[in-house]
């Protein structure tokens, strides 16, 4: 058991090394500067509920190849977020083939986001453990990688890119888990979908639209969909949703995916 924790620590440190190459800007009292962007919650909390679901149900989720609809930074960032979510779904279902494919896709798009070294580190850390089927270690490595990416993005004032990474991860997590809930509906399960993330995403996206004078149809449609998802979640009673509301969330998260990914 001790050796397991040593391995996890070594892999986390290895994945975090590159993110520390540029020091974050601090205030005189050494506290971090307050960004005008909101900090978006990690999608990790939603995955805690997956432990209660059967592996057979998770293995039936359609985790297709992630291909950005356009070759620009925000589409690649969205794709990175989707892959982050899909990696955790593949780990939860203990699907070696899916996780190998997802790792290869991370490596392929990493250069477009300035994350080439992360791709190589991920390959070296993950592929041996996929063969060993060490699912606990794999889960921690992928979470550690995303934490390191967050740190890198924030330290380099890349909040815009990070917002789209989180948009991708929350869209995919919500879309896939909402589908599971709809197939075996209960009000208790719908509470898994409740989060402040969509409100924070809407705030950041509106900030991007105003700050960068971005009036493109893509961003306007994205903001509209994110607001609709947030409003649907807020309309639940006692933090629970009806089946119809869950299906509405599935519809809108699917539309978001189709805006940024090729079908």
Locate the domains of the chain by residue range.
67-260
Residue 123, pLDDT above cutoff 70: yes
- CA–CA distance, 152 with 160 (Å, rounded to integer): 13
Q: Which long-range contacts (CB under 8 A, 24 or more apart) does 98-101 make?
A: 98/63, 99/126, 99/130, 99/138, 100/127, 100/130, 101/65
pLDDT tens-digit map of 134-166? 999 999 889 888 888 999 999 999 999 999 999
pLDDT of residue 45: 77
| pLDDT above 90 as % of the chain | 57
pLDDT of residue 22: 41
Residue 11 pLDDT class (50, 70, 90 cuts): low
Is residue 18 within 8 Å of 12, Cβ to Cβ? no
Is residue 195 within 8 Å of 69, Cβ to Cβ? no
Closest by CA to 90, choosing from 7, 173, 160, is 173
Please give the model's pTM, rounded to 2 decimal places. 0.88
Residue 19 pLDDT class (50, 70, 90 cuts): very low
Strand partners, 240: 237
- CA–CA distance, 177 with 67 (Å, rounded to integer): 21
Question: Bigger pLDDT: 6 or 187?
Answer: 187
- CA–CA distance, 229 with 252 (Å, rounded to integer): 7
Closest by CA to 5, choosing from 57, 13, 72, is 13
């Amino acid at each position: 058991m001790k050796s397991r924790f040593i391995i996890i620590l070594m892999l986390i440190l290895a994945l975090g090394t590159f993110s520390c190459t540029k020091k974050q800007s601090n205030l005189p009292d050494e506290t971090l500067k307050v960004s005008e962007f909101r900090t978006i919650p990690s999608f990790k909390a939603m995955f805690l509920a997956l432990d209660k679901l059967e592996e057979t149900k998770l293995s039936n989720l359609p985790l297709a190849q992630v291909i950005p609809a356009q070759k620009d930074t925000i589409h690649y960032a969205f794709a990175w977020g989707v892959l982050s979510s899909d990696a955790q779904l593949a780990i939860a279902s203990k699907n070696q083939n899916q996780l190998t494919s997802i790792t290869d896709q991370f490596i392929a798009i990493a250069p477009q986001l300035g994350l080439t070294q992360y791709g190589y580190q991920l390959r070296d850390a993950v592929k041996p453990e996929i063969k060993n089927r060490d699912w606990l270690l794999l889960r921690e490595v992928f979470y550690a990688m995303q934490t390191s990416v967050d740190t890198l993005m924030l330290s380099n004032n890349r909040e815009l890119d990070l917002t789209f990474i989180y948009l991708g991860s929350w869209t995919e997590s919500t879309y896939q888990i909402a589908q599971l809930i709809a197939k075996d509906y209960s009000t208790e399960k719908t509470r898994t979908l409740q989060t402040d993330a969509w409100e924070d995403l809407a705030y950041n996206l509106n900030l991007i639209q105003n700050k960068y004078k971005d009036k493109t149809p893509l961003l306007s449609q994205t903001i509209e969909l994110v607001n609709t998802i947030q409003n649907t979640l807020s309309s639940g009673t006692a933090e629970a949703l009806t089946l119809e509301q869950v299906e509405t969330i599935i519809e809108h998260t699917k539309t978001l995916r189709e805006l940024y990914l090729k079908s």
